[in-house]
Amino acid sequence: MYRRRPMRNAKPALGLLLRYGGAPLVVTLAALVQWALLGTRTPFILLVPAILAVAWYGGLGPGLLATAVGALEAASLFFDPRYSIRVDDPIELFSLVVFGSLGTAISMLCDRLQRSEQARRQTEEQALSESRERLRAVVETAVDAIITIDQRGLIASVNPAAERMFGYSAAEMIGQNVKMLMPSRHREEHDGYLARYLQTREKHIIGIGREVQGRRKDGSFFPVDLSVSEFHDRTQRLFSGVLRDLTARKALEREVLEVASQEQLRIGQELHDSAGQELAALGLLAEGLVEALGESSPSEVVLATKIAEGLKRVLGQVRALSRGLVPVEVDAAGLMAALAELASQTSELHGVTCTFDCKEQVFVEHNQTATHLYRIAKEAVTNALKHSRAKNITISLEGDGRSVALRVRDDGVGIAREPSENKGMGLKIMRYRANLINAGLNVGPAEPVGTLVTCTLNKGADHAQKQDQGK
């Protein structure tokens, strides 16, 4: 909406009165000042600026009125005969006509200027309001939740997607601390984050974005991708967060990984049951052949023995391959057996002492969870062999009814707290797998030397995942 100049801003009738009433007053004042100070010399010198001022603030009508009044007053005060509007001298009459034309031109010019200024402002304001409207539509219809908070963490605005995502209405959220949308373990930290940022300006999340947990009104948690930016409105500093619900994406990722491991499992089993069986049978035949040839044909026996040994070797390789593809047997005790096998193979093949330490039986009922744990252990052992120059590696599995802890410890050179420029995938995949089964993963230096990888799984999480997948 266009804002008028102060004179025009007054209520219409009053504005009209001021503009038309003020015009003769201003011009009369100018004529009197001129008459008092300069006499009859340069009769229009103060009248022209007075008309300019009136026309600029009042517009065309008041400008013309001021010109007419100014001409009459000049005729009466400055030209003979005095105190009469008659003018006898043709030169004086001519100067009056020039003054009148000049006043008219000034009034028209001011009016035109004002109109174009008014049109420019209207266009600007219209563009501004259209862009505001578009922005509002974008925010209102966004699929992502958009929440703004002030410096104290109080929610200043939310969009409809935020209402849908968290299950609260806008009225329930606005004015509340944004901590209401976080799990309790992050709530206390949030004030600290804000205060620290306001003090140090060190950006930990602003402009970076990260995955966090959200808390719905019904108390359930869900993963969200959060990106935060900072801006100022006219009065204060605000932070805006864009939140994307990752629940569906996580489920899809899990599904993709599950499908891939199912396929791996199938190929492993096929390999074991088809080529493996076939090779075993051929191996028996070859051994039979060696026996049948006996001592009668020694040169053929050597050949048959080579064939029999070759078949045994290939069978061993096929078995190893299928074991790699089906690492964990599908019963609850499968993980213990697979880890024991991993330890003994590592010792055998790599010339290190690798032990499996499992004081009490630990059962992981869900096969996919067990497979993820096994693969985490396998990568940790591979890393120890590859990077640590360790002599001893210990895999341990520990569990009570509620949680399972898998540890892989080596006595090698140790790992930096944050390996710089890590181009490898192993640690990332380990974290990804841990994340998928809702387990915690910690990779760091061990005491007194070496590296310790710990993966802690809450049995509830395992169960939840199982239910999830059952859906």
Ligand X SMILES: Nc1ncnc2c1ncn2[C@@H]1O[C@H](COP(=O)(O)OP(=O)(O)OP(=O)(O)O)[C@@H](O)[C@H]1O
Q: Which of 127, 128, 135, 413 is the binder for ligand X (CB under 6 A)?
A: 413
With binding defined as CB under 6 A, does residue 444 bind ligand X?
A: no
Distance of closest approach, residue 444 Cβ to ligand X, in angstroms: 10
- Contact region with Mg ion (CB under 5 A), list: 151-159, 165-173, 178-186, 375-383: 375-383
Distance of closest approach, residue 377 Cβ to ligand X, in angstroms: 12
With binding defined as CB under 6 A, does residue 412 bind ligand X?
A: yes
Q: What x/- string results for residues 381 through 410 when contact with Mg ion is judged by CB under 5 A?
A: --x---------------------------
Between CA 330 and CA 322 the distance in angstroms is: 14
Distance of closest approach, residue 422 Cβ to ligand X, in angstroms: 4
The pair of structure tokens assigned to 74 is 């000049």
Distance of closest approach, residue 455 Cβ to Mg ion, in angstroms: 15
- Contact region with ligand X (CB under 6 A), list: 17-25, 150-158, 237-245, 380-388: 380-388
Q: What x/- string results for residues 388 through 407 when contact with ligand X is judged by CB under 6 A?
A: x-------------------
Q: Which of 93, 280, 427, 461 is the binder for ligand X (CB under 6 A)?
A: 427
Count Cα atoms within 13 angstroms, Cβ side, for 453: 27
Distance of closest approach, residue 424 Cβ to Mg ion, in angstroms: 5
Distance of closest approach, residue 430 Cβ to ligand X, in angstroms: 7
Nearer to ligand X among residue 234 and residue 417 (C-beta): 417
With binding defined as CB under 5 A, does residue 268 bind Mg ion?
A: no
- Contact region with ligand X (CB under 6 A), list: 123-131, 269-277, 399-407, 423-431: 423-431
Partnered with residue 456 across adjacent β-strands are 405, 440
How many other CB atoms are there within 10 angstroms of residue 410's CB atom?
28
Between CA 350 and CA 25 the distance in angstroms is: 108
Nearer to ligand X among residue 234 and residue 423 (C-beta): 423
Nearer to ligand X among residue 61 and residue 426 (C-beta): 426
Give me the torsion for CA of 163, 168, 173, 178, rounded to 10°.
-90
Residue 17 makes CB contacts below 8 A (sequence gap 6+) with: none
Q: Which of 250, 375, 387, 459 is the binder for ligand X (CB under 6 A)?
A: 387
Q: Where are the beta strands (DSSP E) in 386-462?
A: 392-399, 403-410, 439-445, 451-458
Contact present, 190 and 153 (Cβ < 8 Å): yes
With binding defined as CB under 6 A, does residue 410 bind ligand X?
A: yes
> Is 160 exposed, middle or buried (CB count within 10 Å of its CB: 0-12, 13-18, 19+)?
middle
Q: Which of 265, 318, 339, 415 is the binder for ligand X (CB under 6 A)?
A: 415
308 binds, among ligand X, Mg ion, none (CB under 5 to 8 A by kind): none
Q: Which of 383, 396, 454, 465 is the binder for ligand X (CB under 6 A)?
A: 383
Partnered with residue 356 across adjacent β-strands are 395
Between CA 161 and CA 92 the distance in angstroms is: 78
Number of H helices, E strands in the chain: 15, 10
247 binds, among Mg ion, ligand X, none (CB under 5 to 8 A by kind): none
Nearest-5° Cα angle at 272, 380 to 465: 50
403-410/392-399 β-pairing: antiparallel
Nearer to ligand X among residue 306 and residue 389 (C-beta): 389
Q: Which of 425, 442, 449, 460 is the binder for ligand X (CB under 6 A)?
A: 425
Residue tagged 């699929």 (tokens): 143
Residue type, 315: L
Residue 9 makes CB contacts below 8 A (sequence gap 6+) with: 3, 15
The pair of structure tokens assigned to 335 is 């993980």
Closest by alpha carbon to 371, among 320, 334, 321, 426?
334
105 binds, among ligand X, Mg ion, none (CB under 5 to 8 A by kind): none
Q: Give me the residues that bind ligand X (CB under 6 A), please.
A: 383-384, 386-388, 410, 412-413, 415, 419, 422, 424-427, 451
